[in-house]
Amino acid sequence: MKPAPYYFEARTLLPAGQRDPYSAFGTCRASAQDPQLIRSLQEWKKQGNGLFLAGYLGYELQQETAAVLPHPKRVFDLSPMCLFVPEELRFSEEAEIPEVYTDPGIEWTERLRPDFSRREYIQAVGSIKEHLQQGDIYELTFCMQLQGRAHIRDPYALFHILCRNNPGPFAAVLHMNGLWVLSASPERFLARRGQKLVSQPIKGTARRSSDPAGDEKLKKQLAASEKERSENVMIVDLVRNDLSRLALKDSVQVEELFGIYSFPTVHQMISTISCETVPDLHPADAIQATFPPGSMTGAPKISAMQLIRAHEKQQRGIFSGSLGYVSPDGDMDWNVVIRSIIYDEHSGTICIPVGGAITIGSDPAAEYEECRLKAMGSLKALGLDITDIKW
């Protein structure tokens, strides 16, 4: 499949588990890539005219939402945000992943390598733990990126393989003039339905086992882990604080705390936080108050972002940001861009970013292994194994 220059498709679920009617895709007739990005979104929605917007919010939008400068080095030459108005939309009440009948046709010219060696990663985590011990932060999401070069004949087929191997309820694909973002995300950043806002952060990961009894044991260990619960509750508190800036009095609720959900390669701990807002809350104001996703920064949010800039080797780009849409009535749904493959068909650059939460009790070597675990779904989609990478 060869989509138009701008293309978006999402498969999302409502909190209650019903299919979201916005499994939508289209082609572009206008895009916003303005230095004052949130203002551009505000102006678009003021215009009305039934505008449906789709696109991405890049992690470096933090410069506008949180006044944190981005890392000077970047992999892809991207605006921090791009939204487009589709010429065509197609809606479906079903969001099943189709069978893949075509080979994506991957020809490697440069094999994937992580931007941190194991030794460098462990040293960086040690430095981050010093800040934790000093009380500068309570938790920090630290990431690395696997990068290589390839020619992929059909990235859209690769997206379906990624989703088939590692299905996530907030999967999405975005194509913009040769750049592909393929995300089998299990995480919702922010959804709005009428006056209700919902966020469902993930913090807490355990591997799966092929042995049913062993797998159930790993699941129970995750549910009982003090470390994973501590990571999760810190982000729940951060999200509650973000939503409280938008919420009607006494309306912020933790609908589910420490829920355990199973995916093909990992078990995850997911919590659900919601609030009620004024009817005329602008989508841009909701994004301004809550972005970037707290699960991808740490806490306190601004201090964590400053330390991320100091310790990571390059910009995150669309990773750790969000793919999503805003509908004409102001409802919206945004995922967290994780479990992803990012590919530039012009340069051949391919990137798999992964990361995890660092707390005062973290074991640096174990955190590195968690990053390897989280890369498995994307590597499998590319026809690779974790042993094919020179870690």
Three-state DSSP state, 306 = helix
How many other C-beta atoms lie within 10 A of the C-beta of residue 109?
A: 10
Of the residues 60, 139, 187, 367, only one is catalytic, namely 187
- Which DSSP string do the residues of 206-267 spell out, in sequence order? EE--SSHHHHHHHHHHHHH-HHHHHHHHHHHHHHHHHHHTTBPTT--EEEEEEEEEE-SSEE
Known catalytic membership, residue 73? no
d(CA 336, CA 53): 17
> Token pair 């530039």 is at which residue?
344
Question: 234-265: b or e for each residue (b if 16 or more CB lie within 10 Å)?
Answer: bbbebbbbbbeebbeeebbeeeeebbeeebeb
Both ends of the chain: CA-CA distance in Å?
Answer: 34
Active site residue 187: yes
* DSSP for 329-378, written as a single string: TS-EEEE---SEEEEETTT-EEEEEEEEEE-TT--HHHHHHHHHHHHHHH
Task: Identify the active-site residue in 9, 64, 203, 312.
Answer: 203
Amino acid at 260: I
Give the residue numbers marked as catalytic: 187, 203
